[in-house]
Structure 1
Amino acid sequence: MEVTTPGLLRAVRGGLALFVGLSLTACGGGVEPADLVLVGGPVVTLDEVEVAGGIAVRGEHIVAVGDEADVRRYVGEATRVIELEGRSVLPGLADNHFHSIGGGPGVDLSGARSLEEALNAIAARADETPAGEIIVTNSDWHEGQLVEQRLPYRADLDQATSSHPVVVVRGGHEYILNSAALERWDIDESVQPVAGGRIGRYADGRLNGELVDRAKDLVELPPRPARDRAAEKEDLVDAYQTLARRGLTAVRHPGGSLEQYEMIRELRDDGRLPVRVEYLFRAPRSGSPEDLRAVMATWPDQGGDDWLAVGGVKLGVDGGFEGGLMREPYEEPWGEGGTFHGLQTVPREPFIESVVELRRAGRRAATHAVGDAAIDLVLDGYRAADAVAPLDGERWVLEHGFIPRDDHFPVMRELGVVASVQDHLYLAAPSLVEYWGPDRAAWTTPLRAYMEADISVSLGTDSPVVPYDPWWVLHHFTTRGTISAGVLDDAQGVSRLDALRAATEGYAYLVFAEDRRGILAPGMLADLIVTSEPYLECPDPCLETMEVDLTVVGGRIVWER
């Protein structure tokens, strides 16, 4: 795959800008009118001239960026002119790790702010559910949002109901069960450890209801209520439209099914996508190279267009907040006497064989790795794939990369590995301090370190594990502020321009679209947003609650306040 260097891109963009200027001169100042012109506020281009006074769009592309007076020359009888009155225009934002919008048919805990509120929500569902039926919560919540800043364990859940099996789903890596649920699935104190998983216990040895990563396999949740295909497609459109309202113009699904991909493809074909989509298929949970080979034969080829593209395959090697695989043990009591280093969810050899298989097939790997030991394993696997055929230029991906170490960066540069990072610390800081200690927690997702090591990096949320709002992402990475634990290691904060660059141009590089998207310059696709306050100048914490007044994708207005 051909790689365009940033220097070459600047030359190409400069040539486009020069071409536009020469066209103006050759026409004696007369130009073909634009469809949309925005003037009267800062246009944050991320190009060589970082802030301009106006921007003009014709069709799908930007045709002019420059001084307000020059851009106003593109106004014709049919041109829509938006007077910014000091508001900012930014490149459209992207989310590099979006699973879903959240919600679902389970008990909604997203609004709970205390254990009591969470238990009351479960009890209310129990009141309307026949005894013996299973109660499951939605996954889009975290204990960091609760005043107690801890999980509801078995004894807590028993207070909500003792006549219903309850499974509290927390993110993508953990269940918590009440006593009735443990009994339903025959899980008692004699249960044996599960490789790649953890079964939680109280200090006295009793089960506390926690099942982490592979230990979740002890439970088989009831299937979700069946919904027809048309309804599921409408749910996708609604979710994407919600994202567009917050200024997102592109999302990347990090591991999904062929069925979901086909629904998105149909929406693309019908012209109904309000955002651009990069799609990764999920490697089989078994971790087996043989299973991977079999399922790969059913997937469409890698690649696509600017509205929908297949970008690779999502794998994983460790747990999440509570199971990231570390070189050093967890803090006590989670460290279990210095023996618990986190969870390796796939054995070493099958993982390495799997990424080698992907390389032979010409597919791109994107691997979930939270802890530093997990990053060790991912880079070992990528080295093995590089030995089959060089990876430089292929932009294989490290997903999450919470705890990179200095010795990781040279290997990442050598292999051309890019980092896809998210704002987990913003939500989960109290838990990470407990699990990993204050120093390791404060180092989580060190954006400045990645940038200073010359690693290409992009930003996202991991929604619904962390809510989908991209402005929380920008607020967190510029301030290192968190919801409930204050500021952690502000030295890792970056400027607003650098954060915006990672959320736009960095994402475009991730998806091989940097020659068409990510900055505001003539010839680029017109993906842009208008913010209610000036992005570069409004006082902190303005980004955390920033409103979006307009979202444009490919020259089309997909959201307007």
Structure 2
Amino acid sequence: MADAKPLSGLENIKADILIRAQKIYSLHPDIPLQKAVAIRGQHIWAFSQVIHGLDSCIGHATRVIDEPTATVLPSFDDTHTHLIFAGLSEFDVPVHAAKDIKELLNLIRHCASQTEPGQWITTTADWQEFNLKEHRFPTLQELDEVSNIHPIVVRRGGHNIVINSCAAALANITPATQPPLGGIIGINREGKLNGLLQDSATKLIECIRPPVSLERRVSGLDRASRKYAATGIGCVRDCFVPVADLAYLKAAHDAGRLNVRVRALVSTLGLSTVSDVDQILSEMEQWRHLQTDPWFSIWGVKFMIDGGIEAGATEEPYVNQNCGCAGHEACGRLLWDTEELVEAMDAVIRRGWRIGTHAYGDRAVRRLLDVYEVLLRRHPHLSNGTLVMEHGGLATPAQQARAVALGIAITIQQPLLHDIAGVQETYWGVERVNRLFPARQWLNLGADISGGSDYPVGMFGAMRSIWGMSTRQTVAGVRGPEHAISVSESIALHTTAAAKMLKESETRGSLRVGSFADLTLWSKDPFEVAERFYGSFGFGGSGDNSICDKCKIIVTTPFCTKCGQKVGGPSQKSSICGQCGITVTTPFCTQCGKKAIQSSTPTVARQEIDTGQKRADPNKDRNLVTQASKQGTSDSARDFTSLVERSIVAWNSLTYADDPDVTGSVSRLSTALRSFDSIDDLFRSRIMFWFFQRRESFMTQTQFIKWDVNRLDEYVLLPMDEGYVNKKDCFYVSHFWRTREAPDPRDEDFKLVHQDLSTQQWTYVWTDWTCLPQGARTPAEREYTNRMLMRTPVLMRECGFEWRYPDFQPRLWILVEVAQYMLNIAGNYAVTADIKPYIDDVQAMKTEGVQQVITRRGYNCSVSREYRLLVGWLELLVILSKLVPDIPMKKFILDALEPPHVGSFEHVDTGIEVNKSTGIVSYQGAVYRFAPLYPVDADGFPK
């Protein structure tokens, strides 16, 4: 690939930032190493393989970063972490620095001496009791000795807190208190409280703690997100966000104090019923508009099916059943009734949200896969990655294969294993700890996995995770070396694979012209000098090989990869994988996981990661995750010669098509669809399916379910992926006929559409049915439809809405679409010759009135019953345009009013109240009238 040039038409515009470096890794398979990258605004503008190849982009305001020995990579994603916790910890007692219980208590004591009586004292959570000299938690009695006039909460990770008597009294917690479902209240041998609360029992304290001020929360998020960014992390998926805390994230975002992109999962911790979850889902609705924000959005909902490292649900009993970690069960504990969990998750899916579920032990993984399988039978339209398994720590080989077959995405957290290995071995034993987070096997199966930290249980940091996944090093020594993966694969799990899981591959994860300029600058090339590089950050080995005296195997860490014992003495021997042919320094190949054979070839430590200079293709290894993932890709994602072929395959993949519980009409439709061999067969049939949808249905739905059996006769949607589709996630092409003989005789409009989409990222394209008729009526129409449909796959990307290309006659639908087009893009629209009359008419409606303009210009509807609906919406739009100058706020109000079942709405911030049944907008004592839009008939049109 030659140098990537600046975006077309912008050659004379200068870059905001120009970076020159020794190596710029795109991580895109078609883009070789680059040496210069130009950035304009938030996006990458151009690349060059020549160090000064973009100097022409330098202007007087361009910031030039010259780093001739540096390496540039995309920014890293942490797909499972807890930024909310990190922000709260910024002002907490830093007990993570303590070496023993005495030091931990002294840190709290010092804080208490400077804190007013009655004020709460809380500690940081990023520490492990195994790393304390005593290998245990502090107790309530010890905390009471520190202070009995302050409520004290010692947090450890996200699953455990230890409290003193003052806090217990405020929460009315006694030895007789029954813990909530899935929680533990610790009792010592004397039958007294020991202060430990686990899992859902922590809610007993969290619900009574006084709220932290908005400024302090925002400041904490500012400081914490800067720390994430400083390690190379550009996006975090926060997997535990109380719904109320969304306001703090939004406030930090609005203030420009979120320094990483955030994808939030709303927590259901402490909930145990469908009604509880429904309440949370209702509270989430006010935040749904954030889904189009590339910086801060809600990813979905977080469930927990078992406990954490002390209470993960296992098939076999814990090795230390007297440790108190498993509560009343020797095999950990499950937190939900299975049937209740299915219904709760079903409610989430029906609202259009994704689900991430904590499942740590192998029994929890089995139960979660059972639940997910039920949900997939109910909702076969769900796309891969809609249901995610968080951790899957102890997943067995059979469970791994089952998860991949179901299309379940998995997030793994090597820093978690590194930090908790010692604690976990106390509960589960070395053998099970060796099996945790089997990345090698997941990749070999073609799983959709990505990497995270699980901070505060594991320490965040881009290269810390890479080092851990490629060495399997932990605080207790190397554990499970057969599960190690290469540095290239590890980096992919935090970049390309992470973006894929988040469904953001078109904008992030790799560096390309037009993608977000989310990149990192490293002093050395991680692909070449990995272990020494990591050591410079205070973790990782020295880079020298050693031999374990006991096991007689070669290692690159101070610990034996087989037995975990400390070793010494450098060695000049390495190993070669017989299958992959690469040099390794562990007894297992980092590519295939097979045992390597001995060789006497001298080696530099971890030479197998040297992909930059010693291989013909520097991107070869970095594509390993992509290649592995392709093995598990469903047929519906392949390239097809036609959309009909693709849709037939997609239809064949539906489990409900052959379900005996499904009505006979669906089975007959399935059989008919499978019989099509070409576009002509489709148009000769009288079946209308998801290529098209009636306009009435489009206007009356705000969310669409692809392959909804009840709407197969009215679909426009091309199902690139299964799942829910929100109207705001679509690119709507109002593409009307240019002449009475053919819709687009010279492909002019098709070229415009392609031009619009080629420089942006879209997911779905809605095409008006007047452009692509359901049944071919003339030879010209058949030819056009065939050509358009055959080319449509190249247009499918990810988007919002757009309205363009008006008809040869003044149709009222076009006026509505142009009015919405003007609203959505905040005045920054291009006025072309064909759209100008409609823009002029929209402006005239504000002064003359809607019906007056319609009458004067002769706008009409081909379906008379649509007239009132369109007039009402136009009048409402004009009223709001006068009252609400803020475009996003105006869109928010219209979105809230759009569902047919909504009869009225009040916007608290502005005081605007809209009543669709009376056709009245009230604002500051004034009344504005529009054609009533409510109540509606079953089809969503006004009665």
Please indicate, yes or no, whether the TM-score normalized by the shorter chain is above 0.5. yes
| Residue 441 of structure 1 pairs with residue 433 of structure 2 | yes
| Residue 301 of structure 1 pairs with residue 288 of structure 2 | yes
Residues 450 and 338 (structure 1 numbering): CA distance in 2 closer, same or farther, change over 3 Å? farther
Q: Which residue in 2 is equivalent to 1:504?
A: 495
Q: Which residue in 2 is equivalent to 1:46?
A: 27
Q: Which residue in 2 is equivalent to 1:317?
A: 305
Q: Which residue in 2 is equivalent to 1:514?
A: 505
One-letter amino acid of the counterpart of residue 440, structure 1: R
Q: Which residue in 1 is equivalent to 2:227?
A: 242
One-letter amino acid of the counterpart of residue 72, structure 2: V
Residues 396 and 19 (structure 1 numbering): CA distance in 2 closer, same or farther, change over 3 Å? farther
CA contact (8 A) 1:471 1:545 kept: no
Which of the residues 38, 44, 64 maps onto 1:57?
38
| Residue 176 of structure 1 pairs with residue 162 of structure 2 | yes
CA distance in 2, matches of 1:289, 1:190: 28
Residues 496 and 66 (structure 1 numbering): CA distance in 2 closer, same or farther, change over 3 Å? farther
One-letter amino acid of the counterpart of residue 321, structure 1: I
One-letter amino acid of the counterpart of residue 79, structure 2: N
Residues 354 and 220 (structure 1 numbering): CA distance in 2 closer, same or farther, change over 3 Å? closer
Residues 19 and 152 (structure 1 numbering): CA distance in 2 closer, same or farther, change over 3 Å? same
CA distance in 2, matches of 1:260, 1:131: 27
One-letter amino acid of the counterpart of residue 341, structure 1: C
CA distance in 1, matches of 2:222, 2:192: 46
Moved more, 310-319 or 65-74: 65-74
CA distance in 1, matches of 2:149, 2:266: 39
Kindly state the Cα deviation for residue 286 of structure 1 after the two structures are TM-superposed.
Answer: 1.8
* Higher RCO (CA-CA < 8 Å; seq separation 6+): 1
| Residue 68 of structure 1 pairs with residue 50 of structure 2 | yes
Q: Which residue in 1 is equivalent to 2:237?
A: 252
CA contact (8 A) 2:449 2:493 kept: yes
Moved more, 312-321 or 74-83: 74-83
Identity of aligned residues (%): 29
| 1:164-205 residue CA offsets vs partner (Å, 9 max, x unmatched) | 664422222112345676677666666667642334455676
| Residue 123 of structure 1 pairs with residue 109 of structure 2 | yes
Q: How does 1:128-527 map to 2 (within 5 A)?
A: 128=114, 135-154=121-140, 156-157=142-143, 160=146, 166-178=152-164, 195-202=181-188, 208-216=194-202, 219=205, 222-224=208-210, 226-227=212-213, 229-265=214-250, 267-268=252-253, 273-283=258-268, 285-298=270-283, 299=285, 300-301=287-288, 303-332=291-320, 333-334=322-323, 339-390=329-380, 391-422=382-413, 423-482=415-474, 484-527=475-518
CA contact (8 A) 2:467 2:530 kept: no
CA distance in 2, matches of 1:257, 1:162: 29
CA distance in 2, matches of 1:178, 1:270: 37
CA contact (8 A) 1:96 1:251 kept: yes
Largest Rg, 1 or 2:
2
SS in 2 for 1:68: coil
| 1:320-379 residue CA offsets vs partner (Å, 9 max, x unmatched) | 111111111111234889951112122222111111122222221111111111112222
Q: Which residue in 2 is equivalent to 1:534?
A: 525
SS in 1 for 2:433: helix
One-letter amino acid of the counterpart of residue 418, structure 1: A
Kindly state the Cα deviation for residue 440 of structure 1 after the two structures are TM-superposed.
Answer: 0.9
Residues 294 and 372 (structure 1 numbering): CA distance in 2 closer, same or farther, change over 3 Å? same
Q: Which residue in 2 is equivalent to 1:14?
A: none
Q: Which residue in 2 is equivalent to 1:83?
A: 66
SS in 2 for 1:84: strand
| 1:59-108 residue CA offsets vs partner (Å, 9 max, x unmatched) | 23334445235844655344544332322111111121232325255433
CA distance in 1, matches of 2:516, 2:391: 28
CA distance in 1, matches of 2:535, 2:419: 13
Residues 74 and 137 (structure 1 numbering): CA distance in 2 closer, same or farther, change over 3 Å? same
CA distance in 1, matches of 2:263, 2:150: 40
CA distance in 1, matches of 2:258, 2:152: 37
Kindly state the Cα deviation for residue 517 of structure 1 after the two structures are TM-superposed.
Answer: 0.9
Residues 43 and 466 (structure 1 numbering): CA distance in 2 closer, same or farther, change over 3 Å? same
User: Higher strand proportion, which one?
Assistant: 1
The gaps in structure 1 that reach 5 residues or longer are 1-16, 548-561
Residues 108 and 20 (structure 1 numbering): CA distance in 2 closer, same or farther, change over 3 Å? closer
CA contact (8 A) 1:75 1:81 kept: no
Moved more, 532-541 or 90-99: 532-541
Residues 186 and 251 (structure 1 numbering): CA distance in 2 closer, same or farther, change over 3 Å? closer
TM-score when scaled to structure 1? 0.83
SS in 1 for 2:229: helix
Kindly state the Cα deviation for residue 424 of structure 1 after the two structures are TM-superposed.
Answer: 0.8
The gaps in structure 2 that reach 5 residues or longer are 539-943
Kindly state the Cα deviation for residue 130 of structure 1 after the two structures are TM-superposed.
Answer: 7.0
CA distance in 1, matches of 2:30, 2:129: 44
Moved more, 367-376 or 242-251: 242-251
- What CA RMSD, in Å, does the superposition of the two structures yield over aligned residues? 3.4
Q: Which residue in 2 is equivalent to 1:112?
A: 98
SS in 2 for 1:279: strand
CA distance in 2, matches of 1:51, 1:183: 64
SS in 1 for 2:69: coil
| 1:101-130 residue CA offsets vs partner (Å, 9 max, x unmatched) | 252554331211222211222333444567
CA distance in 1, matches of 2:30, 2:297: 31
CA distance in 1, matches of 2:247, 2:92: 26
Moved more, 282-291 or 245-254: 282-291
